[in-house]
Structure formats: C-alpha cells, structure tokens
Amino acid sequence: MNIREALEQRSGNKCELCAVTPPLNDLRLSPSLNDTLDTNLLVCNTCKEQIQQPEKMDANHWRCLNDAMWSEHKAVQITAWRMLHRLKAEGWPQDLLDMMYFEAADLRFAEATGDHLSDDEKIIHRDCNGALLKAGDTVTMTKDKDLKGAGSFTIKRGTVIRNISLVHDNATQIEGRINGSSIVILTKYLKKTGAEQAS
C-alpha cells in the first residue's frame, strides 16, 4: 500500500481537516522531506490553497479545526495547530490552542514553519532577487555549486528544485532534494520560478 492509499484508508477518503469529499490532495508537512503517515495528510483543494497561500485565508472555513484538532493523527494535529496560530487575531482560535498539547519533539516540528510567530518575529527567506520564498515553492539554481562529502556532485545552474522547505532558524538557507539526497542550499544561489515570483 502506497502513502496515498494509506491516507485514503485513514481518512475514509475525506479531507482530514474539513471532512469534505474528493477531489483531495496528499500534502506533506514542512520541514519534512519524506512521505510518512506522521508527516502527510489528505486535504481538499480549499484547505490546500489556504495553507499554501495565507493571503487567501478565510477564517470561517477554519472553524472545522474545532474537530480536526482532536484527530489521533500527528500530521492533522500539527496542521490544525499551525492554522490556529495563523488565525489567532480572530480571537476564537486561542481558546482551542489553549487545549492542545504536544510532546517536545512534536512541538519543535510544529514550530518549524514559524506559524506561531508574529510577522515581526519571523525569519524571512528571500531568493537572489528578493522574492519571498515559502515552503513548497519551486526554485532554480542561478550558478553551479559543488557539494562536498559522501556522494559529492555538482548542482548545475538551471537545476530545478521542487517543494522546498525553509530552514526555520536561518533566513539564508532552504532544504530540498536533488538526486534523491536531502541538501541545504543558500538562498543567494536560488531564483523563485515562474508565476510564483509574483507572490
């Protein structure tokens, strides 16, 4: 059984946040670079869009978190916690957050995206042109870079890196996968691709 089939079975083929039926998307939580049941969840198009594009947030849609936060599944709990933090200004999410509890390792993972921080506390990642980088973005290398160590190789200028993760405590670094390996790359060597640059 692959990860998608396992998620469909776990969720009853419904969005694990708002419980609507297909179409659904397999969403991997940042900063994880691997697909597991603890780091992936199944979400509808509306939830996915608002998770990935905070400027499109509709607070009323997220009333569903009142139920989702009690899920037994870690990926769902962490996503609910992150979204409630984004909505704290609405007032009602704080009451729900006060009821949530994570073990230390899970809390560190939940905090990795900085959703719990106010805008002036967040570490902002920008590409070589100053465009804002977000988890899940696609970027392109702007120059050749040699990677040292076991299995060393050169990342060529123009190499596309999809579904990046942000290094939560360093604004100059992102994580991505190249040739099946997880690597850390400096943002000054990256350019956000295509239509994403406008965000």
CATH number of 174's domain: 2.30.30
Residues 17 and 66 in one domain: yes
Neighbours of 25 (CB within 10 A): 17
Asked if omega into 22 is within 30° of 0 (cis), the reply is no
Averaged over successive runs of 10 residues, the pLDDT of the chain (199 residues) comes to 92 96 91 83 95 89 96 95 92 93 90 70 80 89 79 84 85 87 89 63
| Full-model pTM | 0.61
Residue 10 domain boundaries: 3-111
In a domain, 121, yes or no: no
In a domain, 52, yes or no: yes
Residues 101 and 144 in one domain: no
Is residue 179 within 8 A of residue 164, CB to CB? The reply is no
DSSP line for 130-197: -PBP-TT--EEESS-EEEPSTT-EEEPTT-EE-S-EE-TT-TTEEEEEETTEEEEEEGGGEEE-GGGG
The CA distance from 64 to 153, in Å, is: 46
Residues 13 and 90 in one domain: yes
Residues 13 and 107 in one domain: yes
Residues 40 and 97 in one domain: yes
Q: What are the φ/ψ torsions at residue 174 (nearest 5 degrees)?
A: -130, 165
Strands 24-28 and 153-155: unpaired
